[in-house]
Structure 1
Amino acid sequence: MISKACNLTADQIDHIDFFYNQLTFLATILKDLEEKQQQLNHEAKNLTMQIYSVISKTRQLIRFFDVQVPGQRDINNGDSFFDILIGTNIMEEIKMIEEKVVQFYDRINQIQLLQIFNDGVHSSMSMENRTMVDEEITVGFDDEALTIKRLLVGARKQLQMISIVGMPGLGKTTLARKLYNDPYITHYFHICAWTYASQLPRKTDMLLDILRSLYVNEMENMTNEKLGDKLYKKLKGKRYLIVIDDIWDIGAWVDLKMYFPNDNNGSRVLFTSRLKELAMHASPDCHPHCLRFLTEEESWELLQRKVFQNESCPPELIEIGKQIMKKCEGLPLAIVVMAGLLAKDNKAQVWWKQVAQSVSSYIVSDPNQYLDTLALSYNHLPRHLKPCFLYLGAFPVDQQISVQKLICLWIAEGFIQKIGQRSLEEVAEDYLMGLIQRSLVIVAQKRFDGRIKACRMHDLLRDLCFKKVREINFLQCAHNYEDTSSSNSGNIMFPNLECLRHLEALKIQNKFSFPSNFREVKFPTNVKRLTLIYTHIEWEDISILGMMLPNLELLKLEGDAAWGQQWATTDGGFPRLKFLKLKFLNVKQWITCSSHFPSLQHISLEVCPNLKEIPSSLGDILTLQLIEVTYCHFSVEESVRKIKEDRESIGNNWLKVLIRNLSGKLRKIKRALEIIG
């Protein structure tokens, strides 16, 4: 009937198919309950009546359709079916019943009805694995589990491979075990088995794992062929679920798949992997299920439950605890690692504050629980991808990385090798996709055409990058605050910088003070564009940049790049500078003359609240075309207007002035309110 409803969407059909499977399961439970009436307690008997009610109501809905469309069940009458569906709210009724069915599943878990069915269900999960799952706290997997459960018990009869893909620590194995232990799953499949593939899978070990979980004996001294034949015969004719955990190599799947019979009875193979490409290759007709990160609410719940079990977090620790939780960025394994650390002294506020100040370092320094897991992903990378992965660690924390910029940097560093007739850019895009498919890089933005515009890296993977970088001396890192006070800190921060003879654009961003011997830093003389952020260089040293960089055309000073209240430029100045930007600086006074900036064309001032005015002498620069002022003191705005007026008074109308301030925004808001009335 449903298959002929041509006007139903695929989602609606899948929804009804899934509901059908749920009712089939309830009918099976009902039959078993009736056979064991004498063994049931009051609550279980009450469930029997509720199941009867659900099935009865479903029959009423089907009869209602038959009455509304008599004699049309064998014709393609999708329009009529859709009209009745909407007119009678049948889908809403089905949704209500489905919610009740889900409640039944929860109730069945609570009263452990699964014990009633143990005699009739051929569940092969070992008691050792059951204990491990029962003790494991899972949070935030309900929607994920439901999505995959629909695939596992869906209407498709052919053998189907379903994959769970994600970066290390997202909970792929945890979710797979949650599904494997689900009472509906264990009842729906006649046989369930689990094996672990690992980074170096052995066919013999995997076959033995599956057979042992099926309680097969007498397997000693058997060849792989005989083990495979025994497995095939054990599975033949039965609806089975095989879980292959942590698969790295498509060869592991190829070695096993011949022993999984396809009897068109709804059998499934579920595997977890970090490699999306592998999952797509193993099952091209079923898109991999990519795990999401936990929400903040889910993360906080998991942290509390792991640290305090059934108790709530003390009020004095909530704020600190949430700081720690946020730094884990929704990665379940990171939260679990931190919870283990906090639980050592779960009510000491001082200890929690120490942990909060250095979350990432604690996680990375825990080799048994976290770093070894992440390092597996790195160690398994092809040689050509390793430098590309490590290079990502050079970008600031939480920064979206422009793919176009990243590719240019990879090419400039010599990481990309020419392949056939393809351009270096095309090869670099493939390299990036390789890292994304291995769940080591996260897609941050996409273009309209579906290509990746920006990417990012999880903080904890970035920490792994830094650790590996130090081990192999891949990059020179200068990010530890305590290093900056050393006498040779300038050499530590910029070793052999002058050797980059062809470098034209340089951006330096620090969160600590620049070395005191700044004048000894040797910049490449060909640099044309320089950006300094949070460098805290004294204004006196900024003034000599023009002499240190004779070809400098663009200078951006942002976020306390310069330190001090007065900037007095000197003779020689910036002979070729065309663009000057001052942003988020605390300078109060700017003293200069036109001869210090003879080529300047564009000045941009943004959020410099203490600056009183722009020097009037800048108006004498003949090349000056544009002055931008954004959210500065009104006296700065007045000085800029005065410069423009003076230029116009002598017939020079080329100078443009753009002023953006809060009063302009307020006027727009008021106008909008007036229009609203």
Structure 2
Amino acid sequence: MAYAVVISLKQTLEPLLDSARSRIQFSGSELHPIYKDLCYLTSFFDKMTSLEDCNSVEEMEKDIKEILLGGQDLIEHHLSDAVHSAGDASWTNSAGFSRELGELKHKLAPFINLLKAKENELTRNQQLPTADVPVPVPVPVPSKMDHEIVGLEDEIPMLQELILGVDPKLQEIYVVGMFGIGKTTLTNQVYNSHIIHERFDIRLFVTVGVENKLEELLLRILSQVQTEVKKEETVLELGNRLRASLSRGTYLVILDDLRDMRVWDHLRPYFPDEGNSSRIVFTTRMTNLDCVRKYIHQKRLLDSKESWELFCKIVFADMEMYNCPSELEEIGKTIARNMGGLPLALVEIGKLVSKLQTMMERWAAFAQYLKSHIQKTAIPKVMNDELPNHLKGCFLHLGLLHPNNDFPTYELIKLWVVEGFIEPAADQSLEQIAEEYLEDLVSRGLVIVHERSYTGRIKTCGIIHNLIQEVCVGEARQQKLFHIVNKGATTKNQRRLSIQSDVVLGEDSGARSLVFLSPENQHPLAVFKFSRWARVVHALHIRFSKFPDEVLKLVRLRYLAITFDGELPSSISTLWNLQVLIIFSLQATYSPVFLPVEIWELQKLRHLHCLGFDLPVPSTDLYLRNLLTLSGVSFRTCCDGVLARIPHLIKLGVRFDPGVHGPEISCSDALFNDLHQFESFKCAVTNTSKVAFSLEGFPSGLTKLTLGICGFKWDDHTTILSELPNLQVLKLRRNSFSGPKWELRDDVYRFLKFLVLEDLDIKEWIAESEHFPALQQLLIRRCYYLQEIPVDMGEITTLKVIEVDDCNKSLRESARRIQEEQEDIGNVVLQVRIRSSSNGNTFNDLFYFSNYIFLIDALMPWFLLITYGGSIVVF
């Protein structure tokens, strides 16, 4: 975890080294040597995973982290004092600060020297020439636990059936599941079965893991089929030898623990398809596989009976019948049940319990502190070894969240960025890098995706298993990354707090992050008072009667999400480090007000979500050059050249009220003249009885458009949308378009991939496949009058999903007909999903419920609040 501290401290120092970016001036000669050391540490930790035998570095890493945390406290303390003492001539602490910086550099020096020496030694050892000998890889043999395999009785035949299928083509079969679930055990059982021996002439079992060097992987595979392997051969020569060997008969190759599909992409050319029913079987944690579903076997968790059986076989391994004493059975089953059906956890905890005396008191004490015992197993080390340094902070941070709940990526990404977990790159934004980190955690089987957006980006996610969440919490506590505060707890000297109930902090708590996940807290102001160095305050669930002045003293704040009544004070400008500002005022939603003009002084602001507020015209020549997203504002914000002062804006969400903004406003005149990087626009109208704004003038770069309650006419406006050259996502929601018929004539949506029709009064839709040549997903929801989907839509070659939710019977039947017709011609890619809540009178109930939703939209059409485990998402 030293890596995360290094990255965070580097990001603190970088603006201070640039006098043009910093309000507080420091001598570069004092800070630059420390920054140089941080750059070296970043480089070393990046390379450490590729160096062998780096266990000796771990202890040094802990010491380095403590030094850096002290350095971070020193620098932030000085920054806070400098801000609070602005204009105070008596404040002359620069000499003392310089001396302390020198001491920090002096403490780091011996560790930097040791690491450099260690790096040179390890690099030199790995470059020593080795003898040209075969690279043996043992073929898996039944382990000593094979006779105790539990829960595979139904899965072994299922996997065998996939492998032994009669299709003569070479098939790729994926066994998918989280780490420790038993994928390798299952595959090994099938691999060593008699029926597999008889079927295949050549059988290979190779563990891939994190090894991505193609030459080494080919050498390891070839060593199982040839007695002599020459290391000096090129990749092409090795690959051709493998292809020749596999062409001699039917083959089964198990590639165990595949982490990256790019590895298989490089290997695929050397696995021939001879039309003899050969098979490739992968075990993988990746859940984002893009292949035919019938070749995927999803490895399941154990049920309660199987969990108890495996637990007993581990705990009572020395007993012939694995019998548990009756007086221990209840508490034993409780322990086993808490492992959540994960075989690895049952085995590891079972080993610890097996060392206990078979006494009720011992087992009860063990069960009481089960979470702490999990930390003593191999599971934390397995997880720690799995992750490269740059992912560890992000992954452990997930433990802050409520288990068993979806969490919006929208918030998670921003929290990772402001926490300093993300290492910047020249060609990507911090948010883009953070999304890649999250996808990496998904591919490693540690995070589960609950929902993806129409463009494939992760929308909500969660930790894949309760046990992993517990490991995160325990490891994060040990690493001093964060601490969960429950009912009545008091805590000091914790850097990040997930406050899940009422809490009082001690004075000078030093907390850098305060994430309130419960509305029960009665002392939030006291928390702010004792956390003056806080970077993050996430308190949307706590409703303040007015904006709390205590927050204005948190001058290091980078992220503020808060709910309050009244207006935002002009002194918000004192929080000049703010990157994310999410404010919700219920009072302002009924009568929107302007933000204070001082909001334009927040030059570091990247994301502003302000339900019920508008951006005023600045009185001076100020720009928000770093602002990327803006939502919750009304159309007033889009007038008077305000958006021209946000030149890098990418996403915008607005509300339009014709009664306030005039009967018609042209987007070209009001919005987009100066937005050259603009990609996403969401708009809803409060009064559909009047004409809305014009759709003309959208910038050519627009890729995503969401409209609601606009009342446009199909014939008048859809042609304009079809002319947007880069439009990929189009969501036409509640009454965005009205009228009985949408007929596409010459309109062609050339690059549209995702189309959503939701809560519209349309009855007839006339279209052909040529109108949507790139469409991938079509979603129709609660369009109660629409009779059918154009049958020609099934002919779109790129179409993968048609989804119909709560529509009438005629529309559902048309979707089924399209599916049947496509299956008849061999199209196995297209999936048709039909969901319906209507039966009998329920359909009418749904209709009236939909009308009720219209009333809600009339109040807050531009804003949707969805709660995910104590979080609020702004769309």
Q: Give the TM-score normalised by the residue count of structure 2.
A: 0.39
* Structure with the bigger percentage of helix: 1
Which entry has the higher C-alpha Rg, 1 or 2? Answer: 1
More contact order relative to length (CA 8 Å, sep ≥ 6) = 1
* Structure with the bigger percentage of strand: 2
